[in-house]
Chain A
């Protein structure tokens, strides 16, 4: 099943998706109300790509995008957090079929599905996986990494919830058939 999913288009989507993920991570982070933290728009994009191209593409965009960005921006890769991006991309991608964004419809029930899944995925990722790996690998103090995870998780949930939903809505609009249009005077 995996072999079949990785069509050329998916491979290209992973590559270009990772590039866009990196550019967004580097250039489009918004100053947030909490001092010294910023809103990472790249996760909203990751969510969109996962919904459009499915779980494998979502996971790999998260993995490659995050790892490459760490590497070229910071000179080393924080694997404990990269794993979270992979996980979040994968889990959100699992609802791709159910949301079926190509149909051009992104209604309330799909919006709810999307947000429930993204919140669960990010909760597991940021509240559990990231801190536990940080403790295991770096022996960082538990309370510190859990607070960090909490901040990152909540801010990413809000970002994906708001910007991700806006992006999905905008994307679904471009898929609508437009044969019922007529000129108005």
Chain B
């Protein structure tokens, strides 16, 4: 019989800084060698469970504990964080925060150093573990030359070197592109099989985790466990829909088509999913297709843009594209492909070495950052990088105050923007009291107040659960409907597919595709080059024998949007 490794018994936890408990009367047992996924919307307490297991609660984050938590049979509160770290190895979400060493080898060795292991044995151990995560060729590479996926693998090696029993992953997919995420999951799976460690994954991107087999899924909502079952059973139920966790798209499609999804149909894998093909085809034929938007004037044109940070090495090579007034476009490509550089060139943050940029037919290549910001606004990924004022009103007004706009006009313009952004009721709140999504809105509002025609957003929904994702994206759609042109830099495939009809794909500083998002996500060649993943809807449509799989995807998205509108 397998031994329990982690046992929560009527466990509750309340952070000192909060009024209500975050975990409520939790009972949960995880057995040795199990692979468990914990899902739940933001604020459901899923990250707090992780903190309890690795000891950050209550050693680093103080609070009140009721009930018992046993780790390998010992009461967690009687252990200290160091002994806990020998049992549970945690891979944190932020790869730059966790990567403490300057080089790969040093970072993997970090906990060995703290254990005063002799250098010789340290080197041998580091090499052995680095090989497991396929980073052995990079031992002397500097952290600054690694991709996000590589940094994560190093972090994993850094906890495995301790021979921990439990590997805990806190949102391992949040900062990775789809292909890297898929690879990360396969690696976790392989290591679990080779070492038989207990694996706990906290993540809300369910479909991506289910790429590998997991034994159980724990569903959290509002501090409680609302489900604890195997993936097939969970997908057959309505639990995920009730708490707004994104179901795998192929399962969702089957449910829309009126198929009764049961555990026996093995819905956890798109390839094994025994879907009722007739029903799917019937639904496909009865739904409407997307109405393509009409042509309009180009508002932004890039003509043969080239750019180099260092002489002799062109980061961007001859990129040309044109964006029409009122479009919503996504700019995609793997990390370092040049999409951020292109957005910086558009905003004037960098100057192209050759080529021209036109706005509304006018050459703006020579305009300053400040001049361009009245036409093109840029919203950074991390809202904390943009916010410098204490009060919402002041933050949004900043750009106008600096431009010397009269006070009365500032008040009017700020208030009207706050109304558009749904922030008006909060106008006198300190920004520190807002949620991440609300902060994001503040930064969008502070750009919007200068009345630009185009808004560029860098990963606007990174790390957001489905509810916040939908909230942010619906807001952008609303802006788009009011005439703003929107360009989104992203590697979120759902975002592309559902919100941006057109996608421009960049690879190694060149444009490699400029197509509909559906085409991009079904084209094997582009998918490979841009580190994307084929959407599971494509596979489903092909298996159901639908002749126009792309059209099927389009109809699904249209239908899905209609359904989700009713949530708000």
CA distance A33 to B430 in the complex (A): 35
Interface size of B in residues (CB-CB distance below 8 Å): 10
Is B430 touching A176 in the complex (CB atoms < 8 A)?
yes
Is B427 touching A173 in the complex (CB atoms < 8 A)?
no
> Nearest chain-B residue to A176 (Cβ)?
B430
CA distance A105 to B432 in the complex (A): 15
Contact pick for A173, options B19, B425, B426, B432, CB 8 Å: B432
CA distance A170 to B388 in the complex (A): 9
**Quick one: given A170-B390, A173-B390, are A178 and B432 in contact (CB under 8 Å)?**
yes
Is A178 touching B390 in the complex (CB atoms < 8 A)?
no
Is A176 touching B432 in the complex (CB atoms < 8 A)?
yes
CA distance A140 to B432 in the complex (A): 51
In the complex, per-residue mask of A143-185: 1 if CB is within 8 Å of any chain B CB, else 0: 0000000000000000000000000001001101011010111
The verdict on B429 contacting chain A, using a C-beta distance below 8 Å, is: yes
| Residues in A neighbouring B83, C-beta threshold 8 A | none
CA distance A178 to B428 in the complex (A): 12
> Nearest chain-B residue to A185 (Cβ)?
B425
Is A181 touching B427 in the complex (CB atoms < 8 A)?
no
Contact pick for B425, options A174, A176, A183, CB 8 Å: A183
The verdict on B1 contacting chain A, using a C-beta distance below 8 Å, is: no
CA distance A183 to B429 in the complex (A): 9
Is A178 touching B430 in the complex (CB atoms < 8 A)?
yes
| Residues in B neighbouring A174, C-beta threshold 8 A | 390, 430, 432
> Nearest chain-B residue to A184 (Cβ)?
B425
CA distance A179 to B433 in the complex (A): 9
CA distance A185 to B430 in the complex (A): 17
| Residues in B neighbouring A185, C-beta threshold 8 A | 425
CA distance A179 to B18 in the complex (A): 10
| Residues in A neighbouring B429, C-beta threshold 8 A | 178, 181
| Residues in B neighbouring A170, C-beta threshold 8 A | 390
| Residues in A neighbouring B19, C-beta threshold 8 A | 179
Is B433 touching A178 in the complex (CB atoms < 8 A)?
yes
| Residues in B neighbouring A183, C-beta threshold 8 A | 425-426
Is B428 touching A173 in the complex (CB atoms < 8 A)?
no
Is A181 touching B425 in the complex (CB atoms < 8 A)?
no
CA distance A45 to B19 in the complex (A): 33
Contacts across chains A and B counted by CB atoms under 8 Å: 22
**B90 CB to nearest chain A CB (Å):** 15
In the complex, per-residue mask of B18-30: 1 if CB is within 8 Å of any chain A CB, else 0: 0100000000000
Residue among A173, A179, A185 with the most chain B CB within 10 A? Answer: A173
Is A184 touching B427 in the complex (CB atoms < 8 A)?
yes
| Residues in A neighbouring B432, C-beta threshold 8 A | 173-174, 176, 178
| Residues in B neighbouring A173, C-beta threshold 8 A | 390, 430, 432
Is A181 touching B390 in the complex (CB atoms < 8 A)?
no
**B491 CB to nearest chain A CB (Å):** 28
In the complex, per-residue mask of B414-441: 1 if CB is within 8 Å of any chain A CB, else 0: 0000000000011111101100000000
| Residues in A neighbouring B425, C-beta threshold 8 A | 183-185
CA distance A174 to B426 in the complex (A): 17
CA distance A91 to B429 in the complex (A): 35
> Nearest chain-B residue to A173 (Cβ)?
B390
In the complex, per-residue mask of B428-461: 1 if CB is within 8 Å of any chain A CB, else 0: 1110110000000000000000000000000000
CA distance A178 to B432 in the complex (A): 8
**A134 CB to nearest chain B CB (Å):** 34
CA distance A174 to B428 in the complex (A): 15
CA distance A183 to B433 in the complex (A): 12
CA distance A181 to B431 in the complex (A): 12
CA distance A179 to B432 in the complex (A): 12
| Residues in A neighbouring B427, C-beta threshold 8 A | 184
CA distance A64 to B390 in the complex (A): 31
Is A184 touching B433 in the complex (CB atoms < 8 A)?
no
CB neighbors of A among B51-66 (8 A): none
In the complex, per-residue mask of A118-139: 1 if CB is within 8 Å of any chain B CB, else 0: 0000000000000000000000
CA distance A179 to B430 in the complex (A): 11
CB neighbors of B among A81-96 (8 A): none
| Residues in B neighbouring A184, C-beta threshold 8 A | 425, 427-428
> Nearest chain-A residue to B429 (Cβ)?
A181
CA distance A3 to B5 in the complex (A): 35
**A8 CB to nearest chain B CB (Å):** 9
**A179 CB to nearest chain B CB (Å):** 8
CB neighbors of A among B282-316 (8 A): none
> Nearest chain-B residue to A172 (Cβ)?
B390
| Residues in A neighbouring B426, C-beta threshold 8 A | 183
CA distance A185 to B390 in the complex (A): 20
In the complex, per-residue mask of B165-186: 1 if CB is within 8 Å of any chain A CB, else 0: 0000000000000000000000
**A135 CB to nearest chain B CB (Å):** 39
CB neighbors of B among A28-79 (8 A): none
> Nearest chain-B residue to A183 (Cβ)?
B425
**A63 CB to nearest chain B CB (Å):** 21
**A146 CB to nearest chain B CB (Å):** 38
> Nearest chain-A residue to B425 (Cβ)?
A183
CA distance A185 to B418 in the complex (A): 12
> Nearest chain-B residue to A169 (Cβ)?
B390
| Residues in A neighbouring B430, C-beta threshold 8 A | 173-174, 176, 178
CA distance A174 to B425 in the complex (A): 20
CA distance A184 to B393 in the complex (A): 13
| Residues in B neighbouring A181, C-beta threshold 8 A | 429, 433
| Residues in B neighbouring A178, C-beta threshold 8 A | 429-430, 432-433
* 9 pairs, A vs B, C-beta closer than 8 Å: A170-B390, A173-B390, A173-B430, A174-B432, A178-B430, A178-B432, A178-B433, A183-B425, A184-B427
Give A residues with C-beta under 8 Å from B.
Answer: 170, 173-174, 176, 178-179, 181, 183-185
Assuming A174-B432, A178-B430, A179-B19, what are 11 further A-B pairs, CB within 8 angstroms?
A173-B432, A174-B430, A176-B430, A176-B432, A178-B429, A178-B432, A181-B429, A181-B433, A184-B425, A184-B427, A185-B425
Please provide the 4 A-B residue pairs with the shortest distance between their CB atoms, ordered closest to farther.
Answer: A183-B425, A178-B433, A173-B390, A174-B432
